A and B are shown apart, each in its own frame.
Chain A
Amino acid sequence: MNQKPLRVHEADDYLETGNAAKHPTTSVSRARSAFPPLVVGLMVGCIALAITELLRRVAPDWNGTYFLLVPIVAAFAGHTTYRVTHERYRSGSDRLRLQIIELAVIFLVLKAASYLDNTLPEVWNDIRRWPEDIATFFDLETIAAFALACAAWFSAARTARDLEAVADPMLYKGETGPMERLNRRFLAGGLILLFISGLARIEFATLLEADRSAIHGLALNVLVYFVLGLLVLGQVRLTWHSRLWEQQKYKVSGALNKAWLKYTLLFLLIALAIAVVLPTQYAVGLFDIAGFVVSAVAYIAVFVFTVIVAVLQWLFSLFFKPGAETEPLPEMLPPSITVEPPQPANSVHLPWLALARSILFWIVALGAVGYVVYSYLKDRPELVRAFKAFKVTQIAQKWWRALRTWWRDARRTLRATLPTLSLNFLRRKERRQETRAIRRKHAALREQMLDVYLETLDRAREEGFPRRDAQTPYEYHHALDPHLPEAHTELSALTEAFVEARYSAHPVDADDVAHLHVNARRVHAALDKLHAESLQPSVVSHQQKRKVDG
Chain B
Amino acid sequence: MQNLIGIVLVLFLLAVFLRIDFYFSIVYLLAAVYLLARVWTQTSWRQLAVQRRLVNRAFPDETIPVELIVRNSGRLPIPWIEVEDSLPVELISPPFYREVIMLGAKQEHRFAYTLSCYKRGYYVIGPLFIQTGDLLGVTRPLTIRQEPEYVIVYPRVLPLEKLGLPTHSPLAVLPAPAPLFEDPTRLMGVRPYQIGDSPRRIHWTSTAKAGELLVKRYQPAIARETLICLDFAQDSYAGRRFYDASELAVVAAASLANHIIIREGLAVGLATQAVDPLENSVTAFSLPPRRERAHLMNILEVLARAQTTPAPALPFLDFLRKETTRLSWGATVIVVTGVESDPLYEMLAYLRGAGFAVALILVMPPASADAQRQTIGTLPVYRVWREAHLETLI
Contact = CB atoms under 8 A, between A and B. Distances in A.
A218 interface: yes
B99 A241 contact: no
Given A259-B79, A375-B38, A545-B148, A270 B20 contact: no
B12 A215 contact: no
A183 interface: yes
A535 B143 contact: yes
Nearest to A262: B79
B82 interface: yes
Contacts of B82: 245, 250
Contacts of B198: none
B127 interface: yes
Interface stretch (A275-283, A433-441, A521-529): A275-283
Interface in B115-131: 127, 129, 131
Given A183-B3, A233-B136, A373-B9, A223 B25 contact: yes
Given A271-B36, A275-B32, A253 B27 contact: no
A250 B82 CA distance: 8
Contact of A198 (B4, B20, B30, B94): B20
A297 to B, nearest CB: 23
B8 interface: yes
A237 B136 contact: yes
Interface in A421-465: 464
Contact of A250 (B14, B25, B35, B98): B98
A315 to B, nearest CB: 51
A187 B3 contact: yes
Main secondary structure of the interface of A (DSSP, over half): helix
Contacts of A219: 22
Interface in B179-226: none
B234 to A, nearest CB: 28
B80 A260 contact: yes
B36 A270 contact: yes
Contacts of A376: 5, 34
Given A280-B28, A369-B31, 18 more contacts: A183-B1, A190-B26, A201-B20, A215-B20, A226-B26, A240-B137, A241-B100, A251-B98, A251-B100, A267-B33, A274-B29, A275-B26, A275-B32, A280-B25, A365-B27, A379-B139, A534-B143, A540-B129
The 7 closest A-B pairs by CB, nearest first: A275-B29, A214-B19, A280-B24, A271-B32, A275-B28, A280-B21, A274-B32
20 contacts: A190-B26, A194-B11, A198-B23, A214-B21, A215-B18, A215-B20, A217-B21, A218-B25, A219-B22, A234-B136, A245-B98, A253-B99, A253-B100, A253-B102, A278-B24, A280-B22, A372-B5, A372-B35, A540-B143, A541-B129
Interface of A: 179, 183-184, 187, 190-191, 194, 197-198, 201-202, 207, 212-219, 222-223, 226-227, 230, 233-234, 237-238, 240-241, 245, 248-253, 255-256, 259-260, 263-264, 267-268, 270-272, 274-276, 278, 280-281, 286, 365, 368-369, 371-373, 375-376, 379, 464, 534-535, 540-541, 543, 545
